[in-house]
Chain A
Amino acid sequence: DIQLTQSPSSVSASVGDRVTITCRASQDISNWLGWYQQKPGKAPQLLIYVASSLQSGVPRRFRGSGSGTDFTLTINNLQPEDFATYYCQHTRYFPLTFGQGTRVEHK
């Protein structure tokens, strides 16, 4: 199975900040990586697919980048509704796996 390791596990930030989350894959997955946002008590929501494509309806302040084994999710100009947990997920082959999550908290 492909292991995905996210860092940091949590980050403290303020509204207006830029937040960067990384996801490292245990092997080359090309650009087969997505990012999800999950708020407490809610299902995850797809933000980014194939590393850098923005899901319909997702604000442009969310940006994905990377390929191979190293990927980044950047949130520019953090908004109040962005405080949540973020997960990466690979789709290179089965089984699909997720990172352990990164929590974006209020500073």
Chain B
Amino acid sequence: QVQLQESGPGLVKPSQTLSLTCSVSGGSINSGNYYWSWVRQPAEKGLEWIGRIYVGGGTTIYNPSLKSRVTISADTSRNQFSLNLASVTAADTAIYYCARGGDTGSYSGYFDSWGRGTLVTVSS
């Protein structure tokens, strides 16, 4: 069974870049039929999809609301994928989850495996 684990700083200063890594075990991020996403959740609020990477094709798709600030990349040698979010403000304070999504047929777009989430606070 695939497992995902987020890691990175829990505190980031305003205007700096938030950087998180998701380590994947129990399966290769380079395997077909799945893509790898980031989703965030401000405290006591709903879920926001940030973007995804399909490692096999090296393609990324980002939420337009964050597109100018987001980069998602992958390191297949380490079986990890990463999130960089630039020029952060207090509004970016949230729990950040990495998740695996289906990429084929009726399963396409749904997240069947998630990390536990990591809280990132933007504050000086």
Contact = CB atoms under 8 A, between A and B. Distances in A.
Residue in A42, A87, A89 with the greatest tally of chain B CB atoms within 10 Å: A89
A44 B111 contact: yes
Interface stretch (B8-16, B75-83, B86-94, B101-109): B101-109
A36 B111 CA distance: 9
A46 B46 contact: no
B112 A55 contact: yes
A80 interface: no
B124 to A, nearest CB: 27
B117 A49 contact: no
B106 A50 contact: yes
Given A43-B97, A43-B115, A101 B46 contact: yes
A66 interface: no
Contacts of A97: 49
Contacts of A42: 116
A98 B106 contact: no
Interface of A: 1, 32, 34, 36, 42-46, 49-50, 53, 55, 87, 89, 91, 94-101
